[in-house]
Chains A and B, each alone.
Chain A
Amino acid sequence: MPDTQLTAPRAVAIPRRPGLWRQGWRRLRRNRSGMVGLTLVGLLVITALLCPVLAPYDPNDQSAMIDYAANAPPNRAHVMGTDRMGYDVASRVIYGAPTALAVGVGAMLVASLIGTILGGLSGYAGGIADELLMRFTEFFLVIPVFIVILAMVRLFGIIVVGTPLENVPYLNLGTIIMLLGIFGWPPIARLARAEFLRLKQAEFVEAARCIGARPRAIVFRHILPNALPSLIVVVALGTGGAILAEAMISFLGFGDPKAVSWGQLLYFNYGTLRVAPWASIAPGLAIFLSVLGFNLLADGLSDAFNPRTRR
């Protein structure tokens, strides 16, 4: 108890910051939906990383066509059956994982960078800068993003014909990722702005100013770390959204023909839904589970990062 000290130590070791993330992790572990989400996301990541090892066939292997084994239901040779072009469904689904992950993570990286900077600036600076940036954000929100992305993908594909860029591998996919990022930043910016506004007025920020801390130090050492939990949650949600968006783009035929993507599998195979439903169900299920995983993870993280709910 504070009043019954005998002697004070001469020096106190300055502790390294151990446990806030660990405490958050512990809280996440107790949250069931969060753990389910984490498991699903973990499965996605492992599949993506180990796809050459896990896939029984090469994704471009159409050998099944040769023995009239195309459109075959799941059997011993092909665990998830084959589709109308003789591809092994299971292998293509597995190889779709890295694509999905690349899209989700890539798009969110771009979006969160742009969104945090713009939103943070807006919230912290206030005044005219805030007004301008908010109008800018609203502009992006009003645009029918999906249509624009489709148009730009097609346009870009036409433009690069005949230029050296044409031979860049997965250019189309890269374009999609960039565009999803560029159009996906407004919700993050909105949240970043809200968080920065709130934290700017927090009493501990005022205390830091009172001590004499510079604005830059305040932003990076006080405001950003406290805004991070909310931002992480939005980013997790956004990742699921980006995967879904890419699936939609590919399903409509605008995807990268060279990349293996779940949406594209649907695009190829939905015509044969009656004959070979497994070729559509498998990628559809993969999309569903991935997006669900990110959503549940976002849910769990949101609960875990809220230390107030204890008291």
Chain B
Amino acid sequence: MIAVESLQKHYPIRRRGVFRRRSTGAVRAVDDVSFTVASGETLGLVGESGCGKTTTARAMLHLIEPSAGRVLLEGEDVLAVFRRGERREELRLRRRMQYVFQDPYLSLNPRWTVAETILEPLRVHAHVPRAQWEERLAHLLDLVGLEAAHAARYPHECSGGQRQRVGIARALAVEPGFLICDEPVSSLDVSVRAQILNLLVELQERLGLTYLYISHDLASVRFIAGRVAVMYLGRIVETANVETLFAHPRHHYTAALLAAIPVPDPDTRIVRAVVAGELPSAMNIPPGCRFHPRCPAALPRCREIDPPLELAADGHLVACHNPR
């Protein structure tokens, strides 16, 4: 349903002169990222901080201007439409793809009631007559599990879980087919996370939604995603369906990531952290394979040639010279 091709986002580093600004290199936040999400499926995009997953998501919706690449929504070049600047076309696209933000405290206007926040998309798009707004509001509140009384509340009067439900309702107000969920439960209490995850799954089943689920929490990704793409320093290093990835990760970074997750079972065999060192800065991406300085299985090739993302097995893509 949605295909991302060679997406790039480079932030040039400029030295400040008095009048001119010279460019000395770039932060390659997103460096040639490609993936597809089939209709009705959930693709999990995982990686640690600074890997570029949020930048990718924002670029897909044109909230950030990508440096290169295409995004195809059911075959249509989304970025070209946005760049053309035609209001009607832009609104039409925005009705098909929406975004659920990470922080429920910050993603709602603190001076607006819940009702105003949820109805803003209707107001902007003007595609639903005003007479039906109240009905829509009731429907959306019910869909996300909020009561009618919540409509008059302000964000600071709601709990974190409720606020996130409001954010989801707002995203669903225009009835999109594709939803990007950016760490939707990371800011929530542990006991509330399960509620919201269940809600997302239920909504997907009821409304036939397609999700791009971004998270650094692999456990929740395992629960909600069908396929997973792992990012490291702006690149996708592995893509596979979720069970294969967890059972047999082929990229060493993926393996390290999985091994590092603390498992709530005191008798699990402790695997000591297999990856040493720190994450390099995105300004100084190592040459060749960007993971090679920390990789326990690095070959001499890895220092020179950047491995492309290739098919290793059925539906399983890896970017590695020496996969497991």
Contact = CB atoms under 8 A, between A and B. Distances in A.
Contact of A12 (B102, B103, B125, B137): B137
A211 B94 contact: yes
Interface string B76-119: 00000000000100110010001101110011111111011001
A27 B120 CA distance: 29
B134 A13 contact: yes
B101 A207 contact: yes
B113 A17 contact: yes
Contact of A14 (B108, B119, B142, B156): B119
Contacts of B90: 212
B154 interface: yes
A3 B145 contact: yes
Nearest to B148: A12
Nearest to B108: A204
A117 B42 CA distance: 45
Interface in A14-46: 14-15, 17-20
Interface residues of B, number: 47
Interface string B128-144: 00000111011101100
B73 to A, nearest CB: 15
B144 to A, nearest CB: 9
A61 interface: no
A211 B111 contact: no
B247 interface: no
Bin chain A's interface residue count. Answer: 20 to 34
Given A11-B134, A211-B120, A20 B125 contact: no
A12 B101 contact: no
Contacts of B106: 202-204
A202 B125 CA distance: 22
Given A203-B103, A211-B120, A225 B111 contact: yes
A154 interface: no
A207 B58 CA distance: 11
21 contacts: A2-B145, A5-B142, A8-B142, A10-B138, A11-B137, A12-B137, A12-B148, A14-B133, A15-B152, A20-B111, A202-B106, A203-B107, A210-B63, A210-B98, A213-B124, A214-B124, A222-B109, A225-B111, A226-B109, A226-B110, A226-B111
